[in-house]
Amino acid sequence: MKHRTPILLGSLAILVVVAGFAARPLLRPAAARSQLPLDEFMGHVLQRNAEQLWAWSAEEIDANGTHSSRPVTEKDWEDAESDSLSLRELTYALEGSAVVQQSDPEWRLHIARLRAAANASAQAAKKQDYAALQKASNAVNAACVACHWRFAPALEVVPKYPGQ
Ligand code: HEC
C-alpha cells in the first residue's frame, strides 16, 4: 500500500509522455506545412499526378480497334506504382496544408477516400493486376469528383453543347 502513490504517479507520467507524442503532429509549425493555395495545389500538383496515373489505364477505341496504354514492361509497372504512391503521398500534403481552413469533417473523409483509392492502385501495380489497376483508377476519379460535388460543385457541372 505504501508504494501505491508513486506507482500511480509513474503511470500518469507515462500517460503524459504518450499524450505529448500524440499531440506533436498537430503542433507542426505552419512553415513546415504546405503553403500552396488550394486552386494551385489542385491544378498544378494533384491534377497532373492523377493524369499520369490515369494514363496507365487509358483505352481508346477508333476505326482501327482498341488502343491500350496499359503497363507492359517491368518498368511500366514500376512507374504505375510510383504514380500511385505519389498521389497517395499528396493526400497527406493536402490534409496538412497550412492554407486550407476546412473544419467540416467531410473534408477529411474525402481525403481518406482518395488516399484509399491511390493505395489500392499502388497495390494493383505491385501485383501487376491490370483489372485492379483500372478499378482503382476509376475509384480515384470518383473520389476527386465526390469532393468537388461537396466543396466545389461548379467544377463538375456537365458541359453543355452548343445549341443546348
Ligand atoms: C478533399 C476535397 C478534394 C479532393 C479529394 C479533390 N479536390 Fe480538386 N478541388 C477541391 C476544391 C475545394 C477545389 C476548388 C479550389 C479553389 O477554387 O480554391 C478544387 C479544385 C480543383 C481543380 C481546379 C483548379 C483550378 O485551377 O481552379 C482541379 C483541376 C482539381 N480540383 C482536380 C482534382 C483531382 C484530379 C482530384 C483527384 C485526384 C481532386 N481534385 C481531388 C477539393 C478537392
* CATH code (residue 147): 1.20.120
Assess if residue 5 is contained within a domain. no
Mean local confidence (pLDDT), 102-110: 93
| Mean pLDDT over the full length of the chain | 86
Tell me the best of 85, 86, 99, 144 to mutate to test the pocket of ligand 1, counting ligand atoms within 8 Å of each CB and taking the most. Answer: 144
Decide if pLDDT at 90 tops 90.
Answer: yes
Is residue 122 within 8 Å of residue 132, measured between CB atoms? no
Give the span between the Cα atoms of 12 and 70, in whole angstroms. Answer: 56
pLDDT of residue 25: 56
pLDDT of residue 75: 98
Decide if pLDDT at 60 tops 70.
Answer: yes
Assess if residue 58 is contained within a domain. yes
The residue range of the domain holding 78 is 34-154
pLDDT of residue 146: 95
Decide if pLDDT at 27 tops 70.
Answer: no
Give the span between the Cα atoms of 35 and 41, in whole angstroms. Answer: 9
Choose among 114, 46, 120, 44: nearest CA to 80.
Answer: 120
pLDDT of residue 101: 80
The total number of structural domains that make up the chain: 1
How far does residue 10's CA lie from ligand 1's centre (Å)? 48
Mean local confidence (pLDDT), 35-50: 96
Q: Which three cell numbers stand for residue 72?
A: 507492359
pLDDT of residue 14: 52
Decide if pLDDT at 23 tops 80.
Answer: no
Q: Is 90 in the pocket of ligand 1 (CB under 6 A)?
A: no
Mean local confidence (pLDDT), 57-85: 95
- Closest residue by CA, ligand 1 atom 27: 39
- Give the number of other CB atoms < 10 A from CB of residue 70: 15
Q: Which three cell numbers stand for residue 126?
A: 505491385
pLDDT of residue 15: 52
Give the span between the Cα atoms of 10 and 115, in whole angstroms. Answer: 39
pLDDT of residue 21: 54
How far does residue 101's CA lie from ligand 1's centre (Å)? 14
Decide if pLDDT at 164 tops 70.
Answer: no
pLDDT of residue 156: 86
